Amino acid sequence: MTPVVKFTKMHGAGNDYIYVNTLLYNIPDPETQAIKWSDRHKGIGSDGLVLICEPTTKDADYRMRIFNADGSEAMMCGNASRCIGKYLYEKGICNKEQIKLETLSGIKIINLHTNGKKVESVTVDMLEPVFDRPEQFDTAKAAALPEGTFVSMGNPHYVIFVSNIDSIDIAKEGGLLEFNDAFPERCNIEFAQVLGNGDIRTRVWERGSGITMACGTGACATAVAATRNNIGGRKNRIIMDGGTLDIEWREEDGHVYMTGPAEFSFEGSIKL
């Protein structure tokens, strides 16, 4: 008999994933299932698949694995980490309001802002940004890139500030840049327009998923790039297609803190 898996569909500012609790269900081939289930015409439809797992270290409470819609495994996802916090708390799996989540880019501290048994918003300590380009980065080929700022938030981002974001063909430009020879491991691409008063309008091309409604790590990278380029302060509101995220890059510890919503969409069952 074909195994049946129960899943939960959630989104953070429109960045939607399929969530499966692997403490209850075994997903032997998540790469293939991510491609199949993420299909918006023939599957459940999502930006990817997120597995909630047992941690591999005693320093964490839970572990997150993320597979993009093309089956590639991601290092980190800010929106998914917020959704996991809400999932664990509201389903009664964990009663902590602070959760240590193991990811491929380190252990992230998730702080839940609750009202009774409900999680109203979530703040994630995204740790310190890294500006050093990876060793594989091809400096010569990068000379042909549009001017931008490279920021790693546990995964690579290239942030390009523009004067009119509505004039950018995100699908065309983002797709070309993700696979640019300057990025041997591909890259997430952000196009951002500074609106003033701490507001920055941002659109995202995610590595492995294409255009998404929001990207948590991308919002962090955008805010940090704005601060680094002296066109943004330490606190910024990143306005994305699916919603707004509040990003603070604190001077005292150098960490980036991301605050935003997490929502349930629906639940169901699917055959492996």
Read off the pLDDT of residues 226-254 as tens digits, 9 standing for 90 and up. Answer: 999 999 999 999 999 999 999 999 999 99
Pair 160, 237 in one domain: yes
Which of 75, 129, 64 has its CA nearest to residue 102? 64
What's the average model confidence in pLDDT over 119-128? 98
Q: Which residues of 121-140 are buried (b: 16+ CB within 10 A; e: fewer)?
A: bbbbbbbbbeeebeeebeee
Nearest one of 258, 9, 223 to 109, comparing CA atoms: 258
My answer on whether 73 and 14 are in the same domain is yes
In a domain, 245, yes or no: yes
**145 found inside a domain:** yes
Does one domain contain both 12 and 122?
yes
Marked catalytic residue, from 83, 187, 215, 220: 215
Whether 34 and 106 map to the same domain: the answer is yes
| CA-atom Rg of the chain in angstroms | 18
Q: Indicate if 215 belongs to the active site.
A: yes
Asked if residue 132 is part of any domain, the answer here is no
CA dist 74 and 61 (Å) reads: 20
Query: In terms of domains, do 99 and 145 share one?
Result: no
The answer to whether residues 9 and 112 belong to one domain is: yes
Task: Give residue-wise pLDDT tens across range 13-66.
Answer: 999 999 999 999 999 999 999 999 999 999 999 999 999 999 999 999 999 999
Mark whether 85 and 154 lie in a shared domain: no
What CATH number should be reported for the domain holding residue 167? 3.10.310.10
In a domain, 134, yes or no: no
Residue 132 is predicted with a pLDDT of 78
Q: Are residues 148 and 250 in the same domain?
A: yes
- Number of domains composing the chain: 2
> Has residue 28 been placed in a domain?
yes
Residue 12 counted as domain residue: yes
Q: Is residue 133 part of a domain?
A: no
Whether 163 shows a pLDDT value over 70: the answer reads yes
Torsion of CA 25, 41, 168, 240, to 10 degrees: -40
10 and 109 in a common domain: yes
Whether residue 169 is contained in a domain is answered as: yes
133 pLDDT more than 80: no
Distance of CA 220 to CAs 71, 157, 198, Å?
A: 24, 10, 13
Domain hosting 51: range is 4-127+260-271
Residues 29 and 81 in one domain: yes
**Domain match, 181 and 199 both:** yes
**54 plus 116 within the same structural domain:** yes
Selecting among 53, 77, 83, 187, the annotated active-site residue is: 77
